[in-house]
Chain A
């Protein structure tokens, strides 16, 4: 039988991930310094791992509530309220998920009917467009550029609104650009949201990693709680990527709809990860802050060195990525990344992997030691001098 012919059309039509392709390229090369990793270089703080081990010893190995453990939801509700002044009921407005990746997929599937349009500012995280397509929705890209600091504006969103527009995706601090949005810009977007009755899916996974000014959570804006699904997780701020644990917060109706899918597709998030997340929320603030300070040092170093070697680089204010332009080299994103890998063994991710408006840029993650950043930059300097 020809299995290829049996694959569902909307899955077959999604091209293979640009990151995946590059990963395979890097696999074959030895002695690579990688700035291509989208995760912290810290191992999860010991107290969190230790709490998980203890929970296993105590026999926490069973299913939990579909929504997630009640204690964890209560702790999440308190944490969001304390940090951003938004109150989500632990009863029915919070859902613990297998990372933000699952939460995003659930939100899209809960909201999007075939043909509905999802507005996605680009460059953006790699899963937004495919998840929309899998759900039968139509992704509508809202391009941003280095000139505007990769901040999406209310006008450019509004320009692309049609009668099928239903969802707006926001991700600030942004992967891959490191851009953040100011309160004023968010408020302008909120006006458009109200006027056109959009639902905002706001992925704020990097909220704890900002370096100038305080993060503004979208649901904390006046009246926005009822317009949005707020997504967050533990991967980046607590260095817990492999635990696959995140959550969604929103009005009871949308959380209930998301839970409906989650209960059949996933049942519940792994209990050991939930126990670890509980410990992270209770006693992890110190570790988050010390990691944030380490990233900030690396951010200063990499931005300075990029500018010294002559790569134009907009200053990132959040997450742990820089997104320099490589246009001055005359190379495309992919050509730059592939040649840099082959000639100097430094891995970076071509910007077009994050949408066509990422062309002309590459993503470098500075979640790596100061020494590695210096070594990588020395190599990039040699690469550019040729």
Chain B
């Protein structure tokens, strides 16, 4: 229970200090530290990262969602192909999905050419990959649960009954 409460706090805001978590959950600070270390060790807590709107920072990045069809391997199924694909640093996320294709790959690069050449030179030629369909991202609206535009303001009065 305490674990889940700590995880949901951190998922919302990874910058919370151990003390702030302790205050919000009523668990002692030392114990929070222990639980968090344990969760890191077990691989439940994987990373603490910022959600960045790169466009606003004036940095151009190109993202593409690529549908990949593959022939599964005997004994390994999809895993061995997937583990080759996910090792490329250009690949930001990778999912096995149901439907008309098998893997959904999110690739990020500095330009369209960079992404295109990654697909042409690294991804498509892999053994077992039978086809790829590349969708370039035109605009991001929401990322990792955070809205990039149209945030809502609080419009409360300063004092109310």
Contacts and interface: CB of A to CB of B under 8 A. Distances in A.
Interface of A: 17, 19, 22-23, 26-27, 32, 34, 36-39, 41, 43, 125-127, 175, 293, 297-298, 300-301, 304-305, 347, 349, 370, 374
Given A43-B152, A370-B20, A34 B158 contact: yes
Interface in B1-51: 8-9, 16, 20, 23-26
A127 B158 contact: no
B154 A41 contact: yes
Contacts of B24: 297-298, 300-301, 370
Given A39-B156, A41-B154, A300 B23 contact: yes
Contacts of B157: 23, 37
B161 A38 contact: yes
Contacts of A19: 159-161
A297 B9 contact: yes
A365 to B, nearest CB: 9
Contacts of B152: 43
Contacts of A22: 159
B153 to A, nearest CB: 9
28 contacts: A17-B161, A19-B159, A19-B161, A22-B159, A23-B157, A23-B160, A26-B158, A34-B159, A36-B159, A37-B157, A37-B160, A38-B161, A39-B160, A41-B154, A125-B161, A126-B161, A175-B161, A297-B9, A298-B24, A300-B25, A300-B26, A301-B24, A304-B23, A347-B159, A370-B20, A370-B23, A370-B24, A374-B20
Interface residues of B, number: 16
Given A23-B157, A41-B156, A370-B16, 13 more contacts: A17-B161, A27-B158, A34-B158, A34-B159, A37-B157, A37-B158, A38-B161, A39-B160, A300-B23, A300-B25, A301-B20, A301-B24, A374-B20
A344 to B, nearest CB: 15
B141 to A, nearest CB: 14
A32 B158 contact: yes
A45 to B, nearest CB: 12
Nearest to B152: A43
Of all A-B residue pairs in the complex, the 10 with the closest CB atoms, nearest first, are A297-B24, A36-B159, A23-B159, A301-B23, A26-B158, A300-B26, A126-B161, A38-B160, A34-B158, A19-B161
B74 to A, nearest CB: 44
B87 to A, nearest CB: 37
B71 to A, nearest CB: 41
- For A19, A39, A127, A297, the residue with the greatest tally of chain B CB atoms inside 10 Å of its CB is A297
B97 to A, nearest CB: 26
Contacts of A26: 158-159
